[in-house]
Amino acid sequence: MKHIMNILITGGAGFIGQNLVYSLRKQGFGIRILDNFSPQIHVTQSLPADLVDQVELIRADVRDRDALEQALAGVDGVVHLATETGTAQSMYQIAHYNNVNSQATAQLLDVLANAPHSIKKIVLASSRSIYGEGAYNCETHGLVYPGARSAAQLKSHQWDPVCPQCGASIVAVPTPEAARPSPASIYAATKYAQEDLIRIAGDSLGIGTAILRFQNVYGAGQSLNNPYTGILSIFSTRIRRGMSLPIFEDGQESRDFVHVSDVVQAIELALQTDAANGGTFNVGAGEPTSVLEIANMLVDAFDGKVRPEVTGQYRLGDIRHCYADLTQIRSKLRFEPKMSLKSGMEEFASWVLSQPLPEDGLDKANEELKKRKMMS
């Protein structure tokens, strides 16, 4: 990692952050973490015992300017992971998501613009959600990008998007970074705002930047207590409790599930590769898996007794399909996903079974969405 030895990881006590810290520490890098230990994400309010003496921890909110100034002092690179996640929750906590995601990023960059610093690289954890619906192929019009599905479409169970030009059926294909951004949720809009802020400020300040658009990240260590994000965690808790496993729409909506070890690989490549500077890269496995298929895989992994139930319910702001085109990150950063979904799921299930059984919060979260008319 050329000239970068001391790294600030915002949100570094979280799922991706801790995995990144373990990997970087093995390579001898100095690590500083800025994290507020949000109760919705963190069950415990401390780092694992084997990390306490390995990193410098600043326990503070990423919106705290004084804490940001302290955290940025003397570091060479920043991995900006701190964020509020959860598509559905963002739709009614609009100001909060904007503050934590967009405004805090602006604050970080404002500190760098107005004080001496030694930052040479910023890597931003962005999201595939900025695309809205992914890329599709129309037999007549080729590559197309349909807009968000309307409430009327979802209410009538018209799950699949159609060609925006001719209305014909279309087939999902890998989504490239050049796809026109079309955020369908407040969360997605704040992630796209982060991207512009990082890209523009980095260029003007002479700081190398790399934007990584993560697909659905999973693996041992992810939060099992957040009912608004992480379908593997939500499903695993309900399976272990012998509860029903409700599947939205018709269950054929698909996602690109990428193991956290591959995400760590991508972050490290973005930090240490000059070719990453100024770039935006998809990070995924590059393969779609339906939600119904992943749910059945989990039932099998946990030897569950209750099979998934396709409910026909839906949430406003959800997309139908999106999976990553990895051409650019493969060619520029030499990234290659290494963990297969089968192996990753086995590892995840084994870890989950070693954890205390969490309370299930899905029904309560869904009732909140129904009350706000954001879910059928």
Positive or negative, the CA dihedral 141, 147, 151, 155 is positive
pLDDT, mean of residues 200-205: 98
What pLDDT, on the 0 to 100 scale, is given for residue 42?
A: 66
Instruction: Look at residue 225 and give its three-state secondary structure.
Output: coil
DSSP letter string over 55-77? SEEEES-TT-HHHHHHHHTT-SE
Q: What is the pLDDT of residue 366?
A: 67
What local confidence, expressed as pLDDT, does residue 25 receive? 95
Residue-wise burial string across 160-185, b where 16 or more C-beta atoms lie within 10 A, e elsewhere: bbbbeeeeeebebbbbbbebebbbbb
Convert the pLDDT of each residue in 38-75 to its tens digit: 877 766 777 988 998 999 999 999 999 999 999 999 99
Please tell me the distance from the alpha carbon of residue 196 to that of residue 219, in angstroms, as a whole number: 29
- Cβ pair 192, 127 in contact under 8 A: no
Which residue bears the tokens 């100024």?
Answer: 278
Question: What angle in degrees, to the nearest 10, is found between the helix axes of 65-72 and 104-114?
Answer: 60
Residues with catalytic roles: 187
What amino acid occupies position 327?
T
Q: Give 267's DSSP letter.
A: H
Distance CA 240, CA 301 (A): 11
CA atoms of 359 and 224, how far apart (whole Å): 9
Residue 265: pLDDT over 80: yes
Pairing of strands 171-172, 136-138: antiparallel
Q: Give me the mean pLDDT over the 311-337 stretch.
A: 94
pLDDT, position 224: 87
Looking at residue 222, its amino acid is: Q
How confident is the model over 176-187, as a mean pLDDT? Answer: 92
CA 7/CA 374 separation, integer angstroms = 40
86 pLDDT above the threshold of 90:
no
Q: Which token pair is 169?
A: 């059926």
Per-residue pLDDT reduced to its tens digit, 126-150: 999 999 999 999 999 999 999 988 8
Tokens matching residue 325: 């085109």
- Residue 31, pLDDT > 90, answer yes
CA distance 67 to 183: 31
The pLDDT assigned to 1 comes to 47
pLDDT of residue 318: 85
If one looks up domain 6-371 in CATH, what number appears? Answer: 3.40.50.720
What's the rounded Cα separation, in Å, for the pair 34 and 46? 12
Q: Scan for tokens 């949430």, then name that residue.
A: 315
What local confidence, expressed as pLDDT, does residue 63 receive? 96
- Is residue 6 within 8 A of residue 79, CB to CB? The reply is no
Q: Is pLDDT above 60 for 242?
A: yes
For 253, which DSSP code? -
Lowest mean pLDDT of 19-23, 158-162, 231-235, name the range: 231-235
Instruction: Give the model's pLDDT for residue 228.
Output: 64
* Per-residue pLDDT at 278: 97
The whole-number average pLDDT for the span 23-44 is 88
To the nearest whole number, what is the mean pLDDT of the chain?
A: 93
Digit-coded pLDDT (tens) for 87-109: 888 989 999 999 999 999 999 99
* pTM: predicted TM-score of the whole model, two decimal places: 0.94
Q: Average pLDDT, stretch 6-29?
A: 96
